[in-house]
Structure 1
Amino acid sequence: MRRTGASVGAFYLLLPEERLLRLVVIGGVPSRLAAPWARVPLSAPAPVADAVRDNRLVWVSRQEELARTYPRAAVALPYPLALAAVPVTGERRWGALLLLWPGTHPPRTTRRQRGNIALSSRRLARLLDEAVHAGRPVTPPEEPLVLAAETAARPPSPASQTALAAADFTERLPEGCCGLDLQGRITFLNARGAALLGRAADELLGTQPWLALPWLDDPVHEDRYRAALLSRRPVSFTACRPPDRWLDFRLYPDASGISVRITPAGTGMRPPANPATDTAPLPSTDREPGPDQPLPTPAPARAGQLYQLMHLAAALTEAVGVRDVVDMVADQIMPAFGAQGLVLSAAEAGRLRITGSRGYPPHVVERLDGLPLDTGFTPAGQALAGGVPAFFTHPEEMARIYPEAPLISGKQAWAFLPLVISGRPVGCCVLSYDRPRAFPAEERAVLTSLAGLIAQALDRARLYDAKHQLAHGLQQALLPHRLPAVTGLQVAARYLPATLGMDIGGDFYDLIRLDATTAAAVIGDVQGHNVAAAALMGQVRTAVHTHATAGATPDQVLTRTNRFLLDLDPGLFTTCLYVRIDLAGHRARLVSAGHPPPLVRPPGRRARPVDVTPGPVLGVDPRAAYPVTEIPLPAGAVLALYTDGLVESAGTDIEEAIAGLADHLSDAGEDDLDLLLESVLRRGRPADQRTDDIALLLLRPTPP
């Protein structure tokens, strides 16, 4: 932090077996402010995850860029700031270093600053490597270590004289002066400030003002402190000290803490103030309510909890399938509330089917799986029936009503959160703890709100999974289960579905044995990513197969299939490449309907795209013609047919991508066709980042 001038620094340790980044050290802010990011899955859309996954420096110059690039993080950090995340890599990938600067930081990093960031990363990696060599395993602590504020850089001075002079100076001022440390605790308060706040200074020292003074117990006030702490910019707000005393608070932060200036803002009616920082008065809770007075309303949630709730809500909106919801709850919600166990169940056919769990042995999960919705074995049934969460702080408390449940669970405290949507039970989420634990009212309120969000996410995810399984099953049924064996021809084929997005694709391939020395290969891509595309893909494949086996020439196969699609009028078009291979004559005849060109790798030579004259895509032009291109295909040559998902990506020139694929095919040099196919597929995007499906078909004639 000193070397780079950052106001906040943190180190995340990579746990490879869990594919998770754990926050282990933080400086410049309290660790509770980083609670939403204490555990970051390696696949998460987060700066530290991107830095480790892509092995690159991630730089975000301003809050607007953070909102565009990492909206989930921006929800919980709505302050002007800049940040950098850099991988820490030595003899292994150790994790990532995160640095934050105030919003006044220039939008670009200087060469010197980038060098300091890289140097800090290398030094940290070297220290971790040396620790392992010395026999000290690197493991994450239970709670992140917090670095103390730097004060050594300040010039030395006679401590006692300076302190007395400073105290005397503030006592002479007509306004209140208050000092906060980075944890938000009051470290200094002059007499005027104590008078304005209405409490003795010795009663407030060491406390956080929004906890010690009920009338400051508003999340907006705490948010102003968070804004000053993270942005390192002065902020202000106005608050009412009951019954009608308005006070202005101006916060001036630096790396060691925050100085607060307190001045009167008038009495009676609320004075004009900045609407962006103004707050509403809260009733005093200093006195016990009388017999005719209503009970005080529950204290509002802390600002940190509200931001954490928004962060978790944003995370749940990104969950697609049920497995995503389980992982999100386990990786984000469990650590946020300190839970050691999780059981997430979905309501299915009158029973609670466990969709995911953490912290329980298999025999416990098996015992709890499939309980009736109205079960009396655990509190889940009652929670679902009434729609009210149930909290148990100790095993004895649960054993009084459910005597067997604590023995089976093996835990010491539980939160049973019913997942209900419009009165319809969706499931139940159970958070459990290894030790007895109280659940404060604020935490219960946040968990209750989260239950509604989890219910929505789980219900949406189950609908997605059902839809995807139906469509994917249809597509798999329409693709060939195995390709026919053709004497004199080696074949390798693979279909990979998209892993990003809600739908399936219409890519297909086929191999057709025409006679003893002739075969046909076809590959195509139906427009769209839905059930209609998958169904049309099956019809196109059947039409091509029918015309090919009926003796049609290559151009006739596509012409007749085009006419068939026009008669169907599905509103979708299809690209297609058809190849007729003469194994005896070592020739191949190709026709294309707007499909990417195939690649050919002659024996002992480099691969190149085949110059096939394309015709229009199928299903558009009734007068379309499909010119035939003939090429030599000697024994040992490799012919590669593929769909656009293998070469197309945003911001990439398609011709350059095809040329790059040809270079890879040339350099791979695999004799085994299946190994060559795997090598080509590995060259594409990572498995968890495919936005389109891929079909790949490799053909190689063999010597007689």
Structure 2
Amino acid sequence: MQRPAPGAHADCVTARPDSGPATDAMARVLARTCVDAVQAVGGFAGGIYLRSGAEGPLLLAVVSGLPGRLFRPWWRMHVNRPYPVAEAYRSGQSVHLPDAEVSMRRFPQLMAGLPFPFGSLYEPVMAGPERFGVLFVLRPATPGVPVDAADRERLRTAADGLAEELAARAGAGEPVSWTGDPVGVPPPDTAQGAREALERLTLAVLSVDREGRIRYVNRSAAALLGLGAPELRGRVLWQAVPWLGQPAYEDHFRGAFMSGEPVRFPARLGRQPDADWVAVELCPGADGVTVTIDAAEPPGYPPGSADRPGAGPGSAADRASALYRPVSLAIALTEAVTARQVSAVVTQELLPAFGGRQLAIYLLNERHLHLAWETGFPQGFLDRFDGVALDVRLPGVETLTTGRPMFFESMEHLASAYPGIPLDAHVGARAFLPLIASGRPVGSCILGFDAPRGFSPEERTVLTALAGLIAQALERAQRYDTEAALARGLQAALLPHRLPVRENVETVGRYLPGTQGMDVGGDWYDVVETADGLLALVIGDVQGHGVAAAATMGQLRSAVRAFTIGGGAPDEVVAGTNRLLIGLDPGQFASCCYVLLDPVSGRARAVRAGHPQPLLRHADGRAEVLDLPGGVVLGIDAGATYPVTELRLAPGAVLALYTDGLVEEAGVDIDLGVERLRAALAAAPPSPLTETADLLIGSAGGSADRPDDIALLLASRTGGRGAAP
């Protein structure tokens, strides 16, 4: 069968509600790239994620070869999540997963949600340092056979071509980002098959393309479904045949579209409790899925099962797809450290899985429930419930005090059970879940839905189990937050509250804790006065985070001060601190940079122990990275020696000492970070020094996902010998 020309279907894109000439033109560019990339590497589906803003998640912009409805939980991708799309975007590196085994090993959370045999390739769309998004292709798995170099190059070429076009649009002032839902791109057309033979079959047969639209219906299928073929053709299968759209069946369709293997399952022919049972078989191919429906005996269920024939409409829902929800959420919760991170994971993982739109988490403290997290509710609506006591009659309170989850299929049901309770403008359902960990009450969780809906027994069971996982994660996070608060207090007490004020020299220090995990590290700085009028400028970084790192930092700072005040030479101070650390805590190590400065002459002697090279800005504005020979980090070798480098700071010069958190970025060479810092120092105004410090630390300080803490120490020579009169 001959393949269509590349890009042949790139213009057949679904219109967006917010479309305009620029938006539609960009959608066509994305569609053409997506279709061409899928064909180039032998895929069956693909898509493109684009950034949604400076700090927002990646949004699926176009998708080809997959029904968008079935993959709604993956439309939004937060860049810090452990998924291949996010890793490709964060790191700027390709991700190639040839089969399910490799995918499970590297990205277990992805496979928990899509447990099917398939291969996938992810390519960042970048123009220089600017990242626009990620191009991905799904294709049949190749167990044991890695993705070959030719396919890698083809996908890289496609991503580079798209990056050039997007960069040109950005250069012309057009916004290169995405909002709203993804655009569906029809895959290339293929042959239809022998229709005459299918019309003679008594078996009901439907042909569904890779967007989920019905392309062919034989007479038996039209008769079984009670609709004519013209009414069915062109419609999305789950809209035309709603009983096939139950969550329990969605996972079967996902498996067929992703794995390429046939799937067979029992289903009710309709939503009524007395509807007949049928056997549905899905036979996937390159151009779509053939659906056959045949009569079947009722499946065998144990006595009392909610899924037995006659158990009620929708009672079979969620069994297959719900199995992976606890697994997916549990994996995500293991990575969440703080209570805020736990709440964010619940928002990202739990709400999409159940179609929820609103979430509120209350935590128990001294017999009162306090609002810890909310999303989707009208601004200020939940404030009236913040701090309520446990004797108040509210569903969020009673679900915790009784330990019993509460489900309301509509706001009318909620208002009837709790007359007079304040209600927001939404008319949907509500679920109130107790957060109890090992028998200890932690808080309560509220899920809100935009429309009325029922909760099947399976959904109730799964939500209750998930509430237990959330409670355990929150309890762990509260313990962590307590330790982090202790470490922050310890570190605040150990860092200098003010620096010495001396003639001929000005010093400014800055410290920022990390925001990823909100953990406190062991970065420190200090300025120590000696008896003979010199100033020791010190900066260091202890390995690790938490109370232990902060305590070690305090001990090292005290040791450096003691050795300095005692009159030790720079190399003796660092060597003595090294031996002290080995004696205090074998296995712990730290980096350090020590500069002993004479404010009058500007003469300085510097020692470096595994620490980033300092920067020096000259009075004329030139800035350079100093090349100081150094010794190993502290805590490794008790006999280590540390060479001394002679420097001179001319009047007007600025010396910058910093820790690696200021220049490190995931997936980026640290030398690039050092160069950015050097250029920023050169471009900074000559005074005041406080503004220079704020400028240098500002870009890193604004990041909401900074894994390490940052310390910065600036010293400027303002006078002394050699200064202009």
TM-score (norm 1): 0.76
In 2, Cα distance between equivalents of 1:345 and 1:39: 25
Q: Secondary structure at the match of 2:485?
A: helix
Cα distance in 2 for residues equivalent to 1:563 and 1:662: 32
Q: Residues 44-443 of structure 1: matches in 2 within 5 Å?
A: 44-50=81-87, 60-78=97-115, 79-84=117-122, 87=125, 98-103=136-141, 107-108=148-149, 109=151, 111=153, 114-116=156-158, 140=180, 146=184, 151=189, 153-154=190-191, 163-168=195-200, 178-181=205-208, 183=212, 201=224, 225-231=253-259, 233-235=260-262, 251-258=283-290, 282=301, 299=316, 301-376=318-393, 378-407=394-423, 412-443=428-459
Q: CA deviation at 1:510?
A: 0.6
Secondary structure of the residue aligned to 2:545 is coil
Distance in 2 (CA, whole Å) between partners of 1:567 and 1:41 is 44
Structure 1 residues 609-648: aligned runs within 5 Å:
609-612=626-629, 614=631, 617=634, 621=638, 628-646=644-662
More displaced 10-residue stretch of structure 1: 563-572 or 328-337: 563-572
Structure 1 Cα separation of the partners of residues 502 and 328 of structure 2:
57
After superposition, the C-alpha distances for 1:118-165 in whole angstroms (9 at most, x for unaligned) are: 5567779999999989xxx98525xx56556754x548x9xxxx6334
Name the residue aligned to 1:525.
541
Determine the structure 2 residue equivalent to 1:488: 504
Whether contact under 8 Å (1:58, 1:84) holds in the other structure is yes
Going from structure 1 to structure 2, the CA distance change for 1:128 and 1:507 (only over 3 Å counts) comes to closer
Which amino acid counterpart does residue 75 of structure 1 have in structure 2?
Answer: A
1:69 shift after superposition: 4.4
Q: Give the 3 Å change call, closer, same or farther, for CA 11–447 of structure 1 in structure 2.
A: farther
Partner of 1:275: none
3-state SS of 1:525 partner: strand
Are residues 1:511 and 2:492 paired?
no
**Aligned residues of 2:605 and 2:644 also touching (Cα < 8 A):** yes
Report percent identity of matched pairs: 37
Q: Is 1:601–1:639's contact at 8 Å kept on the other side of the alignment?
A: yes
2:476 is matched with which residue? 460
Q: How much has 1:446 moved relative to structure 2? A: 3.2
* Aligned mates of 2:384, 2:416 — CA distance in 1: 21
Aligned counterpart, 1:577: 593
Question: Shift in Å at residue 467 of structure 1?
Answer: 1.6
Measured after TM superposition, the shift of residue 601 of structure 1 is: 4.5
Q: Give, in angstroms, the shift of residue 620 of structure 1.
A: 5.9
1:272-320 deviation digits (Å, cap 9, x = unpaired):
xxxxxxxx96569999999xx9999963634334345543333333322
Q: CA deviation at 1:405?
A: 1.8
Kindly indicate whether the alpha-carbon contact (under 8 Å) linking 1:61 and 1:82 is maintained by their aligned counterparts in 2.
yes
Shift of 1:584: 1.7
Give a deviation string over 1:631-689, Cα, whole Å, max 9, x none.
323223333333455567899998x6798579647854652444554565578799455
2:46, 2:64 within 8 Å by CA — same for their partners in 1?
A: yes
Deviation string, structure 1 residues 603-656 (Cα, Å, up to 9, x no partner):
4565243435648836963x77666443323223333333455567899998x6
Residues 257 and 284 of structure 2 are in contact (CA less than 8 Å); yes or no, is this contact kept in structure 1? no
The one-letter code sitting in structure 1 at the alignment partner of 2:286 is: D
User: What 5-or-longer segments of structure 1 have no aligned partner?
Assistant: 268-279
CA change 1:129–1:454 in 2 (3 A) is farther
Residue type at the aligned position of 1:140: G
Quote the offset at 1:58 in angstroms. Answer: 5.7
TM-superposed CA distance for 1:414, in Å, is 1.4
Contact residue 70 and residue 250 of structure 2 kept, 8 A: no
Are 1:34 and 2:71 counterparts? yes
User: Is the partner of 2:392 in helix, strand or coil?
Assistant: coil
- Deviation of 1:353 after TM superposition, in Å, equals 0.9
2:323 aligns to what SS in structure 1? helix
Aligned residues: 655
1:671 aligns with 2:686: yes
Shift of 1:702: 1.7
1:180–1:387 CA distance, 2 compared to 1 (3 A)? farther
Structure 1 644/139 Cα, relative in aligned 2: closer, same or farther at 3 Å? closer
Structure 1 distance, partners of 2:162, 2:583, is: 67
Superposition TM-score, scaled by structure 2 size: 0.74
Residues 215-253 of structure 1: per-residue CA shift (max 9 Å, x gap): xx996x87554333113x344669899xxx999968342
* CA displacement at 1:548 relative to structure 2: 3.0
CA distance in 2, matches of 1:653, 1:287: 57
Structure 2 partner of 1:539: 555
The DSSP-based 3-state class of the residue aligned with 1:228 is: helix
In structure 2, C-alpha distance between the alignment counterparts of 1:341 and 1:366, rounded to whole Å: 15
Shift of 1:416: 0.6
Deviation at 1:577, TM superposition (A): 3.3
Tell me, what secondary structure is at the counterpart of 2:479? helix
For the residue of structure 2 that corresponds to 1:584, the secondary structure is: coil
Change (3 A) 1:567 1:440: closer
Match for 2:287: what amino acid? A
Contact 2:430-2:448 within 8 A present in 1 as well: yes
Q: Which amino acid aligns with 1:469?
A: A
Equivalent position amino acid for 2:480 in 1: Y
Distance in 2, Cα, partners of 1:19 & 1:534 = 33
Closer/same/farther in 2, CA of residues 665 and 247 from structure 1, 3 Å limit = closer
* Shift in CA distance, 397/696, structure 1 to aligned 2, threshold 3 Å: same
- Partner of 2:26 in structure 1? none
Give the whole-Å Cα distance in 1 for the aligned partners of 2:634 and 2:308: 78
SS in 1 for 2:686: coil
Change (3 A) 1:674 1:8: farther
Seen in structure 2, the aligned counterparts of structure 1 residues 363 and 106 have a Cα distance that, compared at 3 Å, is: closer
Instruction: State the distance in 1 between where 2:173 and 2:587 align.
Output: 64
Pairwise CA distance, 1:439: 2.9
Matched residue type, 2:715:
L
**Structure 2 SS opposite 1:635:** coil
Cα RMSD between the aligned structures? 5.1
C-alpha deviation, 1:540, in angstroms? 2.5
Alpha-carbon distance in 2 for matches of 1:71, 1:380: 33
Residue 587 of structure 1 deviates from its aligned partner by: 0.8
| 3-state SS of 2:373 partner | strand
CA gap of 1:126–1:289, structure 2 versus 1, over 3 A, is same
Residue 548, structure 1, aligned to residue 534, structure 2:
no
1:3 aligns with 2:36: yes
Structure 2 letter corresponding to 1:83: L
Aligned to 2:3: none
Contact 1:668-1:679 at 8 Å conserved across structures: no
Find the residue that maps to 1:607 and give its secondary structure.
Answer: strand
Structure 1 Cα separation of the partners of residues 450 and 155 of structure 2: 45
What SS does the aligned partner of 1:400 have?
helix
| Structure of larger gyration radius | 1
Out of 554-563 and 122-131, give the one that drifted further.
122-131
* Deviation per residue, 1:400-433 (Å, 9 max, x gap): 3312224468655311111112222111111123
| Cα-to-partner distance string for 1:68-123 (whole Å, 9 max, x where unaligned) | 4443223222321223355499xx98765544233369544265554455556777
For residue 405 of structure 1, give the secondary structure of its aligned residue in structure 2: coil
- The one-letter code sitting in structure 2 at the alignment partner of 1:671 is P
